[in-house]
């Protein structure tokens, strides 16, 4: 049943004046009575008011959909009203109602009114559709707007006769926290706008959701993969596949969707190393390296976060127990020692997992074992060679560490790819032996041999990093400058390559378990927290700079910033790039500089305010909070100065702080 089947010209009024919610409902009921489907108007009206007592039907954005299901209704019907001047309706957003649809439904098992309510609500969320209804000059125009929009909606739902979506998509980012779901929403919104059916599989921190089925893949016309980590592409063999950065899924969804449906887009073949961007072309070597590295980092993070927080708890317990000055700090108290041991186990897996999943990203499952073994070798000490290095005893415990793990991962992945080519001429009957026997045995042997050759220079490089950190510790000004630079990088592209480079560097320094490494990690997290917090604060201090919708969205950034989810700032940066990014970079640099100046040490790589208790020394916790707050204020003030006033901010009495004269009159 269509919405237009329930409406008639005599149940529509486009120039209603009402003094209150009760007044407009009574007028709507009187309008509905003209449909001839109400046996007892008084009973029906009481039913409508009773429904309002349960909760308001003013759904916000100037829309109300009152309704009643009753025995006194013979068949379903609709009445519609436009109230140009608006009427106070106790709507969910507190705004006056300008557009009202009244639903009458018979008391049957069909629940027709619920279906109509759902369809109406979905259509009315389209601001353009709503505005067209309000601006309709005649009742016929009003009906035509609905008929055109509903026909397009029904056509969209019937684009594929068998019910399968035309376009499938997969979104994924290294941490799986924000970009994954922002890309999903952007693709869905754009597909809806283009009237193209779509289904999006998300591969976030909670695993794969809304997984695409074999039937859906078989019937789809094109596939969009917006991901910065490797996903299983071979399942889409025989389809037009468009692959791009997850950021392009957020910022260029229309181009990706259209390219996936374009007959000129090449058909993807299983095993084909091809990736297109929104503008076409092959994937760059730089992006390949970045993608594989981020795949390893995303799988490594749970070990770093879990282990880091457990170790931080150990230090916290010993601090409370009064053992802060002890040489065995972190292991003095038995409970602290237990936490540090377990945390150390988790930390110990970090490099192996990093290596294994970099190799997995490059070569699939056969690369996992080879890469992980290489990562293990990278973490082992080469005593014989290290003993000759200047005779320095502390160097005996050194290993290739994080840097060696990265090298092992890439080495393992490409070894397996080369083995695949080398054994490609084997009989097909032996295909099942390759990943289970040939690749692991030969791959691990080659990986081990090469790693033992390159492990020594990598160890020297790793020692160089440690010595550099120690040296910087003696030159605090340099460490402070580095902290400011890392803070600035965290706000440069907010989840993009520069942000991730700073974050990966921070986690690598955290893995050194040195004072300087902890200070660097603190600067990285502070820099990442500031952009969303600064934007949220700016929306409160300078509401005239933002639309009503933006102010509502900005409020959520308090939570995202507190949780160290920098990506909350992306929608605002996309809308006004240079002003927002420059403001965020300024605030984040200040926050990083201050954490370095205060020598705040952070022992956990993620979590925002939820891991502030892990900051060492304990007295630095309030100083760290002050650093983040000051950085956020700097960002907010810069936004207040640089951003222009929004043309229609829809403000109440609070007009916000103003700098200079208002040029946007």
Mean pLDDT computed over 522-539: 93
* pLDDT, position 594: 95
Report the SS3 class of residue 284.
Answer: coil
Over residues 335-353, the pLDDT tens digits come to 988 988 898 888 778 888 8
Report the SS3 class of residue 438.
Answer: helix
For the cut 60, the answer to whether the pLDDT of residue 394 exceeds it is no
Confidence of residue 495 (pLDDT cuts 50, 70, 90): low
Higher pLDDT, residue 552 or 166: 166
Residue 495 backbone class (left: φ over 0; alpha: ψ -120 to 50; beta: rest): left
Residues designated catalytic: 67, 173
Average the pLDDT over each of 166-170, 248-252, 329-333 and give the range with the smallest value.
329-333
Instruction: Decide: 220 and 165 in contact? Cβ < 8 Å.
Output: yes
**What does the mean pLDDT of the chain come to?**
80
Distant-in-sequence, close-in-space partners of 163: CB < 8 Å, separation ≥ 6: none
Over residues 415-441, the pLDDT tens digits come to 998 988 888 777 777 767 777 888 889
Say how far apart CA 422 and CA 324 lie, in whole Å. 58
Alpha-carbon torsion, ordered 69, 71, 74, 80, to 10 deg: -30
Say how far apart CA 322 and CA 309 lie, in whole Å. 20
Confidence of residue 662 (pLDDT cuts 50, 70, 90): very low
Instruction: Decide: 518 and 596 in contact? Cβ < 8 Å.
Output: no
For the cut 90, the answer to whether the pLDDT of residue 531 exceeds it is yes
> How many residues does the structure list for the chain?
665
Confidence of residue 317 (pLDDT cuts 50, 70, 90): confident
What angle in degrees, to the nearest 10, is found between the helix axes of 401-422 and 497-511? 120
Instruction: Decide: 463 and 500 in contact? Cβ < 8 Å.
Output: no
* pLDDT, position 123: 74
Average the pLDDT over each of 123-127, 442-446, 588-592, 625-629 and give the range with the smallest value.
123-127
For the cut 70, the answer to whether the pLDDT of residue 518 exceeds it is yes
Location of structure tokens 């927290």: 529
CA 521 distance to own-chain centroid: 22
**Distance set, CA 27 to CA 19, 21, 632 (Å):** 11, 10, 51
Given strand 222-227, what is the order of strands in its sheet?
207-209, 198-204, 167-172, 222-227, 240-244
CA 459 distance to own-chain centroid: 36
Domains within the chain, CATH numbers bracketed: 3-157 (3.40.930.10), 167-283 (3.40.50.2300), 287-471 (no CATH), 476-642 (no CATH)
pTM, 2 dp: 0.51
* pLDDT, position 199: 92
Helices (H), 263-333: 285-320
Instruction: Decide: 322 and 368 in contact? Cβ < 8 Å.
Output: no
């Amino acid at each position: 049943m269509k919405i237009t089947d329930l409406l008639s010209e005599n149940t529509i009024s486009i120039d209603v004046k009402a003094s209150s919610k009760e007044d407009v409902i009574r007028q709507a009921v009187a309008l509905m009575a003209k449909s001839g489907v109400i046996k007892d108007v008084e009973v029906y009206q009481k039913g409508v008011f009773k429904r309002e007592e349960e909760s308001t039907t003013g759904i916000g954005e100037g829309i109300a959909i009152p309704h009643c299901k009753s025995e006194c209704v013979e068949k379903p019907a609709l009445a519609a009203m436009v109230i140009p001047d608006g009427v106070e309706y106790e709507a969910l957003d507190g705004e006056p109602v300008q557009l009202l649809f009244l639903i009458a439904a018979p008391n049957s098992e069909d629940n027709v009114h619920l279906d109509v309510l759902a369809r109406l609500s979905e259509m009315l969320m389209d601001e353009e559709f709503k505005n067209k209804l309000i601006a309709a000059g005649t009742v016929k125009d009003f009906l035509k707007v609905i008929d055109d929009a509903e026909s397009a909606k029904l056509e969209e739902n019937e684009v594929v006769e068998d019910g399968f979506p035309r376009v499938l998509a997969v979104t994924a980012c290294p941490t799986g926290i924000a970009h994954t779901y922002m890309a999903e929403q952007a693709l869905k919104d754009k597909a809806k706008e283009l009237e193209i059916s779509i289904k999006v599989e998300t591969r976030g921190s909670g695993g794969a959701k809304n997984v695409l089925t074999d039937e859906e893949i078989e019937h789809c016309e094109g596939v969009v993969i917006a991901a910065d980590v490797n996903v299983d592409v071979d399942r889409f063999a025989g389809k037009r596949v468009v692959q791009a950065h997850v950021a392009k899924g957020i910022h260029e969804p229309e181009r990706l969707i259209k390219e996936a449906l374009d007959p000129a887009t090449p058909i993807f073949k299983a095993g084909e190393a091809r990736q297109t961007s929104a503008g076409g072309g092959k994937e760059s070597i730089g992006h390949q390296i970045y993608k594989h590295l981020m795949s390893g980092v995303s799988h490594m993070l749970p070990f770093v976060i879990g282990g880091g927080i457990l170790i931080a708890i150990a230090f916290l317990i010993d601090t409370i127990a009064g053992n802060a000055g002890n040489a065995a700090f972190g292991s003095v108290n038995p409970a602290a020692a237990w936490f540090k041991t377990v945390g150390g186990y988790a930390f110990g897996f970090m490099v192996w997992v990093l290596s294994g999943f970099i190799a997995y990203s490059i070569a699939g499952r056969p690369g996992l074992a080879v890469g992980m073994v290489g990562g293990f070798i990278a973490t082992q000490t080469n005593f014989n060679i290290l003993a000759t290095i200047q005779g320095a005893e502390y160097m005996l415990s050194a290993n290739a560490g994080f840097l060696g793990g990265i090298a092992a991962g890439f080495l393992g992945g490409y070894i397996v790819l080369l083995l695949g080519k080398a054994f490609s001429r084997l009989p097909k009957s032996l295909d099942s032996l390759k990943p289970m026997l040939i690749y692991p045995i030969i791959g691990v042997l080659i990986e081990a041999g090469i790693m033992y050759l390159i492990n020594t220079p990598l160890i020297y490089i790793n020692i160089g990093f440690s010595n550099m950190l120690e040296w910087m510790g003696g030159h605090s000004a340099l460490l402070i400058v580095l902290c400011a630079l890392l803070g600035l990088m965290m706000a440069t592209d907010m989840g993009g390559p520069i942000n991730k480079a700073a974050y990966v560097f921070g986690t690598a320094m955290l893995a050194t378990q040195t004072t300087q490494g902890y200070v660097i990690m603190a600067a990285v997290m502070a820099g990442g927290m500031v952009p969303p917090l600064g934007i949220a604060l700016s929306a409160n201090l300078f509401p005239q700079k933002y639309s009503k919708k933006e102010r509502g969205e900005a409020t959520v950034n308090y939570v995202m910033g507190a949780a160290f989810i920098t990506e909350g700032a992306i929608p605002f940066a996309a809308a006004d790039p240079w002003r927002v990014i420059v403001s965020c970079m300024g605030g984040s640099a200040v926050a990083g500089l201050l954490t370095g100046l205060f020598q705040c040490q952070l022992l956990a790589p993620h979590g925002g305010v939820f891991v502030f208790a892990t900051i060492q020394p304990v007295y630095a916790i309030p100083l760290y909070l002050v650093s983040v707050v000051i950085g956020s204020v700097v960002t907010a003030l810069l936004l207040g100065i640089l951003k222009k006033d929004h043309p229609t901010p829809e403000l109440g009495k609070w007009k916000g702080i103003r700098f200079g004269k208002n040029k946007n009159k």
